[in-house]
A and B are shown apart, each in its own frame.
Chain A
Amino acid sequence: MCSRSSEPRERATAALLSPYRAGVASVVVVMLLLCACEREERQFSAQGGSSPSAASMAPASITLSDLQPGVSTQARRGERELEVNAFSISEGQRLYEWFNCNGCHANGGGAIGPALMDDVWIYGSAPANIYATIVQGRPNGMPSFRGRIPEQQVWQIVAYVRSLSGQARKDAMPSRTDSMQVKPRQVALPREEPKSSAPPSGNQP
């Protein structure tokens, strides 16, 4: 079932109210139910299950290279929990501006930093890669936000950054903001197939 929040009391209330909710809900396919919950939950604090699993976050699992001697073991993990959640992506959008990500990456088109809405991912496109990029920083100008941005908020930013190139669920992606319109909304752009390529300017990622 839907769990609205990590607050135990709140959950208790939800349970209290659930008889009639359940009555109405019973007509609905379970699939639909799961989809909506994922998208609509408002996760205020990190203690839920909405951060990617510890395993996928561990530095050991982060690779920056497509080259793996022997047989490649790379596979996309189930790190998409946040990317299907509209609230997380929307929070990420706000933080992207609050923490001046837009100062360097503009609204995805790039400026001081590389574009984020295209298909080029110098340091990997997986959520864990982007998380690592934000937390560790990157040598050519990307600052390290370790200890500065709380973990949950980094994940929210990750979800938003990935949405810029269409790597999030369409119905969870943000629409326009209440500001100047400078680019088509994410949902109106095609999803880019991530490529782990450095830009042609070899010395200047």
Chain B
Amino acid sequence: MSTSLTTPERDPDLHTPLGGVSLTAGQLPRGAAPGTLVAAAVAGLLLWLLAGWAVVPCALLAAASYVVIVYTWSRAVEGPRKATDRFVTALVSGAFLLALLPLVSVIVTVVSRGAARFDAEFFTNSMLGVTGEGGGIYHAMMGTLIITGLATLISVPIGMLTAIYLVEYGRGKLAKAITFFVDVMTGIPSIVAGLFAYALFVMMFGPGVRMGLAGAVALSVLMIPTVVRSTEEMLKLVPNELREASYALAVPKWRTILKVVLPTALAGIATGVTLAIARVIGETAPLLVTAGLTDGDNFDPTDGRMTTLSVFSYYEYQSPGLFAEASFDRAWGAALVLMIIVMLLNLVARVISKLFAPKTR
């Protein structure tokens, strides 16, 4: 078998093999790619440490030289297709590493600055009667859980049912309109959602209303489109074969949806819902105008002001007073707690989807 890389002339009758590349034709030696990577990294490191270049150009240069070397080498030895494959591999892995940068940076920042206030008082006390140092976020944690919980209770059923309508029932103008306007809804600025919810509650309760429920409604406006969109995408991926299998067993449509379609798509839906929660749990502007701000406990979402972690964190940061450090510590601490809450939610979603995920093995 020749090791030539060019494609031989085509046989006109299709009935003979084309031949082509031999199995072991032009392979980069094992470890060529990792080796190049190490070399490029070392070169970058040397430039940084010895030649005194800045970190960013060094890293960029190392990455670029790795990609270029591996691509040209592979192209020469293995041919353009394999080279493209390697190129994409490098690109895709690079993209992942790139995405880790801000993540690591954010986490390091928040943890290093937020850890200062990880004491018992912080988690058990409210801010009632606190100025200067000390104080806690118990009231804000509860507020966050209650308001986001309510928003989730409102948005998830509505959002999921709408997605179900769109995928399983939706035909004609209504479905088109809903699909379309749900997308439009994703672009509503959070403050506008807050003002809208406030206006709505003013109509019901008169001017100056502040209550957790109003905050939850505002958040729902922001949350619903994410839930609808992600659920819809996941439902669309469920093969029609499965629906047919269920219908053929005389299962009514609604049961088919509940027991076959939803479980199959559940993992994706759970991820979507957590993303939706994550999107709203950090909102400040809409909550300030609807749920307001208070120093103390209020666990009744239908009456009076309620503080959430994000609002608390924001105002501790914005109006710190003279004891700025104490305030900033609280702000970062609250932010860290907020992140931990979302991470835990994320874990819960993973567990849920693990329990119901399609079992492939």
Tell me, yes or no, whether A binds B.
no
| Residues of B that sit less than 8 Å from A by CB | none
